[in-house]
Amino acid sequence: MNVYIKTYGCQMNERDSESAAAMLVSAGHRIAGTEEEADIVILNTCSVREQAERKAIGKLGILKKLKRERPHMIFGIMGCMAQSRGEELLKSVEHLDFAVGTDNIHAIPEIVEEIVRKKRKIRCDDRRGADTPGIDAHRINAEQGQFSAFLSISRGCNRYCSYCIVPYVRGPERSRDMDGIVAEARSLADHGIREIMLLGQNVAAYGLDGVPPPIAEDNSPFSELLERISAIDGIRRIRFTSPHPAFFNRKLIETIARLPKVCKCIHLPLQSGSDRILQRMNRPYDAEHYMNIIRSLRELVEGINFSTDIIVGFPGETEEDFEATRRIMREAAYDNAFIFKYSPRRGTVAAKMPDDVPQEEKERRNALLLRDLAEINASRNRELVGKTFEVLAEGPSKRNAARWSGRTDTFKLAVFPPSPGLKPGDFVRVRIERATPMTLYGSIEG
């Protein structure tokens, strides 16, 4: 049958959709490009903010029409909402056939078969270890120019940041076996992958077996993992997301600085620059600790840059707290920041605090941070004019097919005229001639 999977939420979900697709293909199904061509539609859902849940529920409503036109169709949900609200949704949405939780992706092909045979609703949400079957299943299309892949190194999260629903839906943190991860990376390299993005809710806690911070400065199994993946010949670039600042120790800083394949672009979620708010968020670090990580890395690695996640309008966030966040924003001089308006999530500790920052104020703080970011970007990008960077070529640029785009090691988007015979996944040296806040423009150095 033809299967269409639509993914909401984070890269973990994207990765899970890919392994679901790979397992469905192994079971004899085909992946469709649109829901209209599909016999089976699966929504891979996210619960992190209310808006994310609303989108998936809205989509489920729209899909009802397809079911009326083509009654043989099968509809399923997977991912975080399927884990936390699967039961309820199976009851309330008549045309929904299955809800598969975040640890049971490998069960999807069997579930589909059973629904075809018996026409009954199925829910599956039990918890499992990190190395679930099929967690290493990929769909790599090197002929189509794919050179980059996601690799999940752990499941779940133990941090319980007070605003966050993820630990409740994804379950406790479980690290995968290191040899298995390295074998998966090697196999990706053999299939033409040059760049790997390691994924986990807190990658810096990889292999620490759930020990809470503070972490000893020299204890970092994640550093060992970076080291081992670095040793794989075909892999040229390693990225990762996200490390929790309280787990970012000396060993990890030195490893990042030492290994040339580890990209010099670090996503380091700040959430708030106010120590008082960080405490209420159950984020066990302060602004000083956070800035020390950034300063140490800047000292050791020339040209390194940072991105972050910030929440505005957390319960009790005053103007003063917000100004503390703006200060860190400027000090850290981020190249990118994902800014979120606080959204209360049921069952979390913060959901019991009054959501007392009015919506308009959340909007205002959000807009101010975005404006600050644009200013920082404009000045940082201007400084790059005249410099030369190694760029991993991706293909024709979206805006102008006569030019190609690619990413620098620091994840900057560079646009340049292609050289003859250039293929996606090739490395070129691009000299930057002009910059906007979002993009660098240049030419390949001959």
Which residues, listed in sequence order, are joined to residue 441 by a DSSP beta bridge? 415, 434
Site membership for ligand SF4, residue 157 (CB under 6 A):
yes
Contacting ligand F3S (CB under 6 A), which of 3, 5, 10, 111? 10
Nearer to ligand F3S, 10 or 185 (CB): 10
Say whether residue 274 binds ligand F3S (CB under 6 A): no
Q: Are 268 and 331 in contact (CB under 8 A)?
A: no
CA 439 → CA 122, 126, 187, 415, 434, distances in Å? Answer: 47, 45, 33, 7, 9
Name the 3-class secondary structure at 54.
helix
Q: Which of residues 84-123 bind ligand SF4 (CB under 6 A)?
A: none
Place of tokens 């690799």: 151
- Lookup: tokens for 186: 């090697």
Q: Is 161 in the site for ligand SF4 (CB under 6 A)?
A: yes
Residue 362 binds ligand SF4, judged by CB under 6 A: no
Measuring CA to CA, which residue among 265, 240, 155, 138 is closest to residue 193? 138
Of 147 and 340, nearer to ligand SAH (C-beta) is 340
Among ligand F3S, ligand SAH, ligand SF4, none, what does residue 167 contact (CB within 5–8 Å per kind)? ligand SF4
Of 15, 20, 24, 47, the one binding ligand F3S by CB under 6 A? 47
Q: Is 166 in the site for ligand F3S (CB under 6 A)?
A: yes
Nearer residue to ligand SF4 within complex by CB, 270 or 376: 270
Smallest distance, Å, CB 387 to ligand SF4? 34
| Comparison of 100 and 268: residue with beta carbon closer to ligand SAH | 268
Considering the complex, state which of residue 315 and residue 442 has its C-beta at the smaller distance from ligand SAH: 315
Shortest CB 383 distance to ligand F3S, Å: 33
Binding-site member from 30, 37, 61, 160 for ligand SF4 (CB under 6 A): 160
Residue with nearest beta carbon to ligand F3S: 9
Q: Is the dihedral of CA 410, 411, 416, 418 positive or negative?
A: positive
19 makes contact with ligand F3S (CB under 6 A)? no
* 3-state DSSP assignment of residue 260: coil
Question: DSSP secondary-structure letter at 417?
Answer: P
What is the arrangement of strands in the sheet containing 122-124, beginning at the earlier edge strand?
30-31, 2-7, 40-45, 74-79, 98-100, 122-124
Let me know: does 138 contact 121? Beta carbons within 8 Å: no
Q: Which of 3, 4, 5, 12 binds ligand F3S (CB under 6 A)?
A: 12
What are the Cα distances from residue 238, in Å, to 66, 137, 202, 355? 42, 19, 16, 39
Residue 9 near which of ligand F3S, ligand SAH, ligand SF4, none (CB within 5-8 Å, type-dependent)? ligand F3S
Least distance (Å) from ligand SAH to the CB of residue 295? 20
Closest distance between ligand SF4 and the C-beta of residue 200, in Å?
A: 9
Q: Select from 391, 390, 389, 393 the least CA-distant residue to 423.
A: 393
Question: Which does residue 12 touch among ligand F3S, ligand SF4, ligand SAH, none (CB within 5 to 8 A, set by kind)?
Answer: ligand F3S
For helices 221-230 and 178-190, the axis angle rounded to 10 degrees is 20
Nearest CA among 334, 413, 411 for reference residue 375: 334
Contacting residues toward ligand SAH, per CB under 6 A:
48-49, 163-164, 166, 201-202, 242, 244, 269, 271, 309, 311, 340, 342-343, 345
Q: Which does 160 bind (CB under 5 to 8 A by kind): ligand SF4, ligand F3S, ligand SAH, none?
A: ligand SF4
Helix (H, G, I), strand (E, B) or coil at 275: helix
By a kind-dependent CB cut-off of 5 to 8 A, residue 13 interacts, out of ligand SAH, ligand SF4, ligand F3S, none, with ligand F3S
Cα distance between residue 73 and residue 67, in whole Å: 6
Q: How far is the CB of 170 from ligand F3S (least distance, A)?
A: 5
Of the CA atoms within 13 Å of residue 136, those in its CB half-sphere come to 14
Residue 13 binding ligand F3S, by CB under 6 A: yes
Stretch that binds ligand F3S, among 42-50, 127-135, 389-397, 402-410 (CB under 6 A): 42-50
Cα radius of gyration (the chain): 22
User: Which parts of this chain interact with ligand SF4 (CB under 6 A)?
Assistant: 157, 159-161, 164, 166-167, 201-202, 244
